[in-house]
Amino acid sequence: MYYHSTRDRSCRVTAAEAIAWGISAEGGLFVPETLPELTAEKLQAMMGMTYAQKAEAVLGEFLTDFTAEELADCVRNAYTSEKFDTENIAGISRVGERDYLLELWHGPTCAFKDMALQLLPRLLTVSAAKTEPGREIVVLVATSGDTGKAALEGFRDVPGTRMLVFYPENGVSNMQKRQMTTQEGGNVSVCAIRGNFDDAQTGVKKIFTDPAILAKLAANNQKFSSANSINWGRLAPQIVYYIAAYTALAEQGEIRLGEVVNIAVPTGNFGNILAAYYAKKMGLPIGKLICASNRNRVLTDFIETGVYDRNREFYTTSSPSMDILISSNLERLLYDLSGEDEALIREWFGALSREGRYAVTPKVLECLRANFAGGSCDDAQTAETIGRIFREYGYLCDTHTAVAVKVNADYRRESGDLRKTIIASTASPYKFTADVLAAITANALPADDFAQMELLAKLTGTVPPASLLALRDKKVRFTGSVARDEMVSAVLAMLD
């Protein structure tokens, strides 16, 4: 299977090249030329397989330049019971009559990013060995919280890689900061910058083309790569869990094989829900894809009107991983919905970077609305939903997941569509303890993070993830911070 760029169809690469390079030279994203077909027989054959076996079956059709041994090695080392605290890797909890919460947060950092970032470093080292043999891969990440930690855990002690994460000194939660500053692993470092997330992001982009750094990389026989969500190596592993969940529900007798289900996803950069769309296109029986946003409802408006407009106020919400006004992976969807019209994509995404806005054609809007339903929910509704789901069903969900639960309930009521729904549950409630606690108790909260975790456990009878509890006794390895203009020297020092 080959991949081409959404902005230049003539650019044709292998899976290993797409993963090693991350993004195409002219700024487009790599997409598969055709999607493998998921026939009823293939679904049937997956019944009873372990998660890792299902992953091998699905990914084998996308990463055709990997040998079966290479892929098996990557997958089996990524999805293990040492890394994930549930045997199925992604657990499923039924809430009410027809909603299934697909818990994608049982990995080491307690957010769904682990599902892809436990595997990506392995795919990347195999890809780099094919495309850049003998070179060490250097990964830089600017993070506002979840991605940085998941990438650090994924890359820690992976041979042939080195990683540096920049985070805004005062722009992440206590727990997120603690997760990063105590990070273990001989090949990873973490650096706070005195600035905001945009400063970190801009700084990292500049470093990728800094002459002094590039000279040093060449001298060291090293090469930069990226671990952000536009890398195909992060998207492909996300297709797996929708197929795995569907077959798991059939195994449990919750659905019939062939029964059409909906999928609801709390959405930010549009990576997670795009993976569900690809699963649908491959033939997984999926009806509506329900795209749930928080108060930053740029996608809800887009699905309603066909106009994508980021010229609007940015809100900080209780679901921070969805506080985003530019959903990069939407480019892949629109490329597909427009019939792979690279000229239209160049026009729209050019307009987005110049004017912050574009309008799709009526035909594309029609296709969009045939597949997707959008909806949004504010912080008060998010808290209300956490409280209601806990009181009615004894099930505790995090703020991001609650957004999807609420938007899905609205969709079902308004549309009368009664199909069963898989709702992507993207983070452990203990990752956003303060907001989750406030949603279920009116009492004042203790200030200390660990006291809050204890209280949440006591009030709900749930168990905090061991990896978060363990942070209390972990030694802080990375202290101090650099100014924005010191990021280059921080990278040079790391490369020594």
Ligand X SMILES: *Cc1c(COP(=O)(O)O)cnc(C)c1O
Residues that bind ligand X (CB under 6 A): 111-113, 146, 229, 266-272, 321-322, 400, 426-427
Q: DSSP strand E in 57-208: where?
A: 91-95, 99-103, 136-142, 161-168, 188-194
Pairwise CA distance, residues 58 & 37, whole Å: 10
Shortest Å, Cβ 146 to ligand X: 4
Q: Which residues contact 495 (CB under 8 A, 6 or more apart)?
A: 138, 162, 213, 216, 217, 220, 222
Three-state secondary-structure class, residue 277: helix
Q: Which is nearer to ligand X, 135 or 280 (CB)?
A: 280
- In angstroms, give the least distance from the CB of 299 to ligand X: 9
Residue closer to ligand X (CB basis): 259 or 323 = 323
Q: CB of 395: closest distance to ligand X in angstroms?
A: 17
Question: Which of 111/423 has CB closer to ligand X?
Answer: 111
Cα 320 vs. chain centroid, distance in angstroms?
Answer: 13
Angle subtended at Cα 423 by Cα 419 and Cα 424, rounded to the nearest 5 degrees: 150
* Cβ proximity to ligand X, 22 vs 487, nearer residue: 22
The least distance separating ligand X from the CB of residue 270, rounded to whole angstroms, comes to 5
Q: How far is residue 263's CA from residue 423's CA, in Å, rounded to a whole number?
A: 6
CB atoms within 10 A of CB 137: 23
Is the CB of 108 or the CB of 271 nearer to ligand X?
Answer: 271
Query: CB-wise, 66 or 167, nearer to ligand X?
Result: 167
CB of 31 to ligand X, least distance (A): 16
DSSP-derived 3-state class of residue 350: helix
Which of these, 221, 82, 77, 80, lies nearest to 162 by C-alpha position?
221
Could you tell me if 166 and 487 are in contact, meaning their C-beta atoms sit under 8 angstroms apart?
yes
Q: Which residues, in sequence order, are bridge partners of residue 289?
A: 263, 372
- Cβ at position 326, least distance to ligand X in Å: 11
Q: Tell me if residue 328 falls in helix, strand or coil.
A: coil
43/405 with CB nearer ligand X: 405
Min. distance of Cβ 188 from ligand X in angstroms?
A: 19
User: Least Å distance between CB 386 and ligand X?
Assistant: 14
Measure the CA–CA gap between 64 and 70, rounded to whole angstroms: 11
Closest contact distance (angstroms) between CB of 400 and ligand X is: 4
In the bound state with ligand X, the residue whose beta carbon lies nearer, of 113 and 406, is 113
Q: Which residue has the tokens 């998010």?
A: 382
Q: List, in order, residues 6 or more apart from 217 with CB less than 8 Å away.
A: 138, 223, 224, 495
Beta strand 307-309 with 357-359 is antiparallel
Q: Which CB sits closer to ligand X, 122 or 149?
A: 149
**Least separation in angstroms between CB 266 and ligand X:** 5
Judge contact between 190 and 167, C-beta under 8 A: yes
Looking at the Cβ atoms of 66 and 241, the one nearer to ligand X is 241
Tell how strand 372-376 and strand 286-293 pair up: parallel
